[in-house]
Amino acid sequence: MNKALLEMRGITKVYPNGVVANKDVHFSLREGEIHAIAGENGAGKSTLMKIMFGMEEPSEGEIFIKGEKVKLQSAQDAIDRGIGMVHQHFMLVPSFTVAENMVLGMEPRKGVGINYAEAVRMTEETAKKYNLAVDPKAKVQDLTVGMKQKVEILKALLRGAKILVLDEPTAVLTPQETEELFRELKQLREQGHTIVFISHKLKEVKAICDRITIMRSGRSEGVFQTKDVTEQEISRLMVGRDVVLKYDKEILSIGEPVLTVQGLGVNDAHGKALLTDINFAVRGGQIIGIAGVEGNGQTQLIEALTGSLRGVSSQGSVLVKGKDIRESDILDIRKLGVSYIPEDRMHQGIASDASIADNLLSTQYRTKAMNKGPFLNGSRIAKLAVSLVEEFKVRCSGPSQPIGMLSGGNMQKVVVARECSTEPQLLIAEQPTRGVDIGAAQFIHQKLLELRSDDCAILLVSADLNEILEISDSLLVMYEGKIVAFFEEPSKVSEEELGLYMLGIHRQDEEQIRRAVNHV
Amino acid sequence: MFKVKYFEYIRTSAVIVIALAIAFLIISLVSNQPVKTIGIFLFEPLSSKGHIGNVIEMAIPLMFTGLAVSLLFRANMFNLGAEGIFYFSGVVTSVLAIHLTLDGWLHPIVAIAAGSIVGALLSAIPGILKAKWNANELVTSLMFNNILFGVGLYLLNYHLRDAKAFANVSYKFEKTALLSKMVPGTRIHTGLIIVIVLIIAAHLFLYKTKWGYELRMTGINRNFARYSGMKTAKVIILVHLIAGFIAGMGGSVEVLGMYNRFQWTSLPGYGLDGALVAMLAKNNPLSVIGAALFLAYIRIGADMMARLSDVPSEMISIIQAIIILLISAEQFLKFWKNRMLLKEAKEA
């Protein structure tokens, strides 16, 4: 019956830093199906898709389209062959209108200028053909995330894509927006398109996909008819064992507030409010979670807590152990006992060319214990590095290995090890398990809970709802720079209910939100 | 089999071999006696004590500037200001060598210290501009080279020039200011000891102290350094001060070790050569010794070749150009690295 529309054979990809992202992967796509690629973060899904889309060249392996061997050397090659991709992080120009974004790189001309009316017409025509309503004249920066995604899909369709690759399309969507996306995808399938759906969310995979390729640590674990496998089976194949994120948390007596945020407001350079009247407190031995769709002020809140507010006008106060830190620099804040696991480890969290030991040292190298006269105390440092590598089970050849050669999960373990090793009184954890395999994620969660038992106050910001509902003692929801909800027992909140608050559809009254300050 | 971690060493060696091979090829095309010419180029620098001395003499200033540039490159500062500072500190030292009267051992120390401190202060300017306002250090340092050369030449022409001399040179230095020679029959001077001590100190500083640690981390990822609580602006200014100090000392030592008058009427080029030394040494202080000796060796070889055969010494520029080009070309031999990676990945 259906023969392969696209086939990838024996794909191996090794990145220059030594990371093996794909190992002898086979993948085959039939015309007119929705095909899921499921796997944990770091399993090699995105790399495989980048290879399919011509953004990365495989170290080994071949690609066939309709039986013909092809070499995809750029995204343009892939587009020419009818492959379209919707990236996890949208590739749109925010200050342009929808129509302008749609025709970017293939603008209809009128003399030397761009025929804007024609661009609008093309957009409308495509939108109508595929029954995806967008406003061609709206600016992209004013659109919701779901709308932006629609524009990305239309963009690919306009370029003649018959195969549509969606990289974690639901990661930034609320449950309601996700449902709408699924309706659209089914409709595209009926019109004869083939869709590759990358995800690690099993419910979604079960809901709309015909077949599923499961990946684990760079290898393909096999192809299945979605209806023939249960969620449990998929998860076992993805992880190699059964996983449920479920932890037994000790009931702790809660200490004094370590972090108190009162009436915090921050505006950007144009006077637009980024944060408005933020009030909450985090006490010793307590984990406060912050949930929200990305881009609703979480980043600005973290910046305010980690020393980026200097010289920025702000209202209210941010007190760490009673001291207002808004004008403190990072070193002063760290000296108060604050540790910080940053969201983007490559950007901030590690120095990738430096050794693991050097990366573990960066928050401690000033201390008396690590110095001997004018020199660093080599034997102490070695001891610290060896013990942390052991304690955090970092898989490496030794502490002198450059950290850039480790896998994402092991890098993150080094970051967490470093931030936990200074006996912090307040830990700010921003997406601590993003892009990390499940084993490392569980390990990191255990470490957070251990710190909690040691009376550390923890602020957890995460887009992973399962994580945040399971780990947090109390939960805040942010929407458009404001706190819109406070839950004292997150494990009793369903993801759907949370979604309504994250979308801004529901909102608690002031009284309920205020409890975030005084609750015990 | 070769391991990926040795890749950079292999690559550097391959670059040198290719550069030399091309040099030999050109020599055999140009020269009437190619075998003899290549022999001169390769072995003449070792032929006598005097020639070996020439190699070491030339390596001393290269070590100074190579070390200074290595430290800057380590902090990810692409600053080529060692050139102007080397020159200007030489002028400053000359002034003190001419006009100051001091006891024998104190005179060079004072003169060199002055040159070094002036070098440090001048170097701090691009550093501060970079740290505070993110002004591109490459641009400011190159402009500074011109400014320092202009001011230095003005001082030579209008204040230091010896009217009785036949060339545009300064008055003679006081005898007490000159650095003593160490090996009879050569001009190898005590500057060699100074630079070796400095290199060892820089090695210890870079790898064994917290300041060196801050410097390395800032160089690898400034965001990471800042996030860890380091004051990266201070680190950047500090590395400029140190590098300027070393480059300035290099100029001062060179003037007092090799000459008895100040006589540079153009930039001597050691600062830019320092960048080449740093590249060859992979910004490692200890490797600077070997890299500087190598560069000095092929230069002396080329000089000898020009003197004793029919190939001009400009030949050396071709070798240097190829080395710089290939070392900075990231793609060079990358396919081979990818293959090694693939192989190691399969074995793992």
Average pLDDT over residues A154-161: 91
- Residue of B7, B220, B283 to mutate for A, most A C-beta atoms under 10 A: B220
Higher pLDDT, A517 or B106: B106
Closest chain A residue by Cα to residue B223 = A348
Cβ burial of A454 (10 Å; 0-12, 13-18, 19+) is middle
pLDDT at B1 (0 to 100)? 41
**Between β-strands A60-65 and A219-225, what pairing exists: parallel, antiparallel or unpaired?**
unpaired
Residues in chain A within 8 Å Cβ distance of B216: 354, 358
Per-position DSSP letters for A53-79, written without gaps between them: TTSS--SEEEEEETTEEE---SHHHHH
- Residue A461 CB neighbour total at 10 angstroms: 24
Closest chain B residue by Cα to residue A349 = B224
Average pLDDT over residues A70-90: 88
Q: Which of A256, A323, A251 is nearest to A284 (CA)?
A: A256
Sequence-distant (6+) residues with CB within 8 A of A365 are A371, A376, B210, B213, B214
Average pLDDT over residues A273-290: 92
Alpha carbon of B199 to those of B64, B71, B191, B285: distances in Å? 8, 11, 12, 6
Q: How many beta-carbon pairs below 8 A join chains A and B? A: 84
Percent of chain B with pLDDT over 90: 68
- Residue burial A296-306, b: 16+ Cβ < 10 Å; e: rest: bbbebbbebbb
Give the H/E segment covering residue A183: helix A175-190
- A129 has pLDDT over 90: no
Q: Which of B133, B217, B129, B231 is nearest to A307 (CA)?
A: B231
Nearest CB to A352 within list B214, B221, B228: B221
Nearest CB to A348 within list B223, B229, B230: B223
Nearest CB to B224 within list A20, A351, A376: A351
Interface of A with B (CB under 8 A): 12, 14-16, 18, 20, 23, 59-60, 306, 329-331, 333-335, 340, 342, 347-354, 358, 361-363, 365-366, 370-371, 374-376, 378
- B196 has pLDDT over 80: yes
Nearest CB to A366 within list B4, B210, B221: B210
- A4 has pLDDT over 90: no
CATH of A245-337+424-520, one of 3.40.50.300, 3.40.50.620, 3.40.1400.10, 2.30.110.10: 3.40.50.300
pLDDT in tens, A460-491: 998 777 888 889 999 999 988 899 999 988 88
**CA–CA min distance B201, chain A (Å):** 12
Per-position DSSP letters for A457-507, written without gaps between them: EEEEE-S-HHHHHHH-SEEEEEETTEEEEEES-GGGS-HHHHHHHHTTS--
Alpha carbon of A253 to those of A36, A281, A285, A455: distances in Å? 45, 16, 7, 9
pLDDT in tens, B31-59: 888 889 989 988 999 999 999 999 999 99
Measure the CA–CA gap between B242 and B77, rounded to whole angstroms: 13
- Residue of B227, B230, B234, B338 to mutate for A, most A C-beta atoms under 10 A: B227
- A502 has pLDDT over 50: yes
pLDDT at A3 (0 to 100)? 67
Measure the CA–CA gap between A232 and B277, rounded to whole angstroms: 60
Whether A4-239 and A245-337+424-520 share one fold: the answer is: yes
Average confidence score pLDDT of chain A = 87
B217 inside 8 A of chain A by CB: yes
Residues in chain B within 8 Å Cβ distance of A331: 229-231
pLDDT in tens, A210-264: 999 998 878 888 899 998 888 778 877 876 655 556 677 777 777 889 999 999 9
pLDDT at A41 (0 to 100)? 63
Residues in chain B within 8 Å Cβ distance of A363: 228-229
Percent of chain A with pLDDT over 70: 96
Cβ burial of B309 (10 Å; 0-12, 13-18, 19+) is buried
- A108 has pLDDT over 50: yes
pLDDT in tens, B119-151: 999 999 999 999 999 999 999 999 999 999 999
Measure the CA–CA gap between B92 and A74, rounded to whole angstroms: 57
**Domain range annotation of chain A:** 4-239, 245-337+424-520, 349-422
Answer for the pair B81, B145: CB distance below 8 angstroms, yes or no.
yes
Give the H/E segment covering residue A287: strand A287-291
Give the H/E segment covering residue A357: helix A356-361
Residues in chain B within 8 Å Cβ distance of A20: 345, 348
For the ranges A57-71, B15-29, B70-84, the one whose mean pLDDT is highest: B70-84
* Fold held by A4-239: Rossmann fold (3.40.50)
- B197 has pLDDT over 80: yes
Answer for the pair B70, B283: CB distance below 8 angstroms, yes or no.
yes
**CA–CA min distance A306, chain B (Å):** 9
Average confidence score pLDDT of chain B = 91
Residues in chain B within 8 Å Cβ distance of A59: 338, 341-342
Cβ–Cβ below 8 Å for A334 and B348: no
Confidence of residue A407 (pLDDT cuts 50, 70, 90): confident
- B340 has pLDDT over 70: yes
Handedness of CA A130, A131, A136, A142 (dihedral sign): negative
Indicate the pTM of the whole model.
Answer: 0.80
**CA–CA min distance A326, chain B (Å):** 15
Confidence of residue B323 (pLDDT cuts 50, 70, 90): confident
Residues in chain B within 8 Å Cβ distance of A16: 334, 337-338, 341
pLDDT at A130 (0 to 100)? 86
Alpha carbon of A322 to those of A439, B14, B240: distances in Å? 37, 61, 39
B228 inside 8 A of chain A by CB: yes
pLDDT in tens, A182-217: 999 999 999 899 999 988 777 788 889 999 999 887
- A18 has pLDDT over 80: no
Confidence of residue A147 (pLDDT cuts 50, 70, 90): confident
pLDDT at A520 (0 to 100)? 56
B197 inside 8 A of chain A by CB: no
Q: In this structure, what DSSP letter does residue A346 have?
A: I
